[in-house]
Amino acid sequence: MSGSKTTPSWIVKACDPSGTGQVLLALHPEPAETMVRQRRRAVLGQFFGLIQQSEVLLNPVAAYRGLMRPLNFPGHDDDVIAYITRPSFTYTFSDDGGLVRYQAPRNCVFVAFVCFAQDVLTDLHNNPANASAGGGVLDWEWTEADPTVPYLPVDYQTRYRSTLWTR
Amino acid sequence: MDKVTGAIDQFLPPELAKQVMAPFEPCAKYYATMDYLLYLEKDTAYRADRVDSYLTLLWHPDEDQAVGVKLKGFRYLFERMKEILGTRNIEISDDEFLPLVTALEIAMTAGDGPRLLAEAQQARLKEKYEKARTLVRSVQFDPRELKLAA
């Protein structure tokens, strides 16, 4: 993974993975730079509107550890934590650059992927403005909700390695 | 109801804001930290539909339209391939990963991405017809009602 000293620092508040306290997270520079290059106004709007402005990661309904897929570094699969939230709205940047709030996709939950591994922290701390960050936000998306437990993602029983907690 | 809660220049420095605000074009990009290639046809919020550990389809939030696809695990597959070839004394350098990913980005943007989306939509349509057939087969139908209707 790479770090960048030129990407600005974006710090957000989140619930501690234990579910009890608070932790500061920084947006990892690599996905941020790629999202900008791909001109993804919708996903950047979600970060600034939902994660930074609305602080949805402070009150997730569940947290899971590990993805059921092979990731690029040995052991990394277990380090990723999925925060599950269910805001009723989402955001995008409109054509005139306004951050616009509108209704969330129907029957979906908002999932953010966070990592506290040392190599991620090293990438983040390349930028001194990220010194306070205890973890990195790597990705986020709206995911289809489970039909029977609508506040969790579909197949929540099998898509993650372990449940940290649900509320 | 739509509500404006900020402006892009509050969040991004001018050069990045300008890049984001340029007109969107369908393209594929590789996201190294999560190890996936993302092809997007439209810039919109989407519903992620995980097919398996290697493929996720992205659907329009309100319509039955596939707007993107995520192909996951490229670096992982590259590392496995390196290991396998290494046992046959064929060495592949890490430097070869980036050109490979660039080639994949181009292939997805040029044609494989739109083809995958079209196939996904076709499959979903077929699935819906199959559900409709099952539903119709399960309906108890009284032929006398048809006579009355005529």
- Give the CA distances from residue B112 to residues A30, B26, B39, B118, B148, in Å, rounded to whole numbers and listed in that order: 25, 12, 9, 10, 53
pLDDT of residue A2: 44
What is the reported pLDDT for B126? 78
**Among A10-14, A21-25, A33-37, B94-98, where is mean pLDDT lowest?**
B94-98
Rounded CA gap, A27 and A127, in Å?
A: 11
Task: Find the helix or strand (DSSP H, E) in which A163 lies.
Answer: strand A160-166
Average pLDDT of the residues in B103-107: 78
Cα–Cα distance for residue pair B39/A89, rounded to 1 Å: 25
Which chain B residue is nearest to residue A98, measuring alpha carbons? B7
In this prediction, residues A154-166 reach a mean pLDDT of 92
Q: A83: pLDDT confidence band, cut at 50, 70 and 90?
A: very high
Nearest to B43 among A8, A39, A136 (CB): A39
* CA nearest to B2 within chain A: A102
Could you read off the pLDDT of B2-56 as tens digits, one per residue?
Answer: 888 889 999 999 999 999 999 999 999 999 888 899 999 999 999 998 888 788 8
Q: Does B40 touch chain A (CB under 8 A)?
A: yes
Q: How many residues belong to chain A?
A: 167
Chain A environment of B48 (Cβ under 8 Å)? 141-144
Residue B18 — φ and ψ, nearest 5°?
-65, -40
Residues 6+ apart with CB under 8 A from A123: A1, A2, A3, A28, A29, A30, A136
pLDDT at B136: 66
Query: pLDDT > 70: what percent of chain B?
Result: 88
Q: Confirm if A135 and A116 have CB atoms less than 8 A apart.
A: yes
- How distant, in Å, are the alpha carbons of A69, A93, A130 from that of A27? 22, 18, 9
Instruction: Report pTM.
Output: 0.85
CB contact under 8 A, B33 and A101: no
With beta carbons less than 8 A apart as the criterion, state whether A60 and A85 touch: yes
User: Alpha-carbon distance A20 to B3, whole Å?
Assistant: 32
| Confidence (pLDDT) at B1 | 53
The Cα angle at residue B94 between residues B88 and B100, in degrees rounded to 5: 95
What pLDDT is recorded for position A140? 97
The minimal CB distance from B53 to the residues A42, A69, A141 is found for: A69
Tell me the pLDDT band of B119, cut-offs 50, 70 and 90: confident
**Confidence category of residue B78, pLDDT binned at 50, 70, 90:** confident
- What's the average model confidence in pLDDT over A85-94? 96
Give A41's contacts in chain B (Cβ within 8 Å): 20-21, 24, 43
* Residue B114 at interface with chain A, using a CB cutoff of 8 Å: no
Q: What pLDDT is attached to residue B135?
A: 65
Cβ(A40)–Cβ(A123) below 8 Å: no
Is residue B60's pLDDT more than 80? yes
Pick the residue with more confidence: B11 or B93? B11
- Please name every residue paired with A85 in a beta bridge, in sequence order, or none if there are none: A110
| Mean per-residue pLDDT over chain A, rounded | 90
Q: Nearest by CB to A93, which of B20, B62, B76?
A: B20
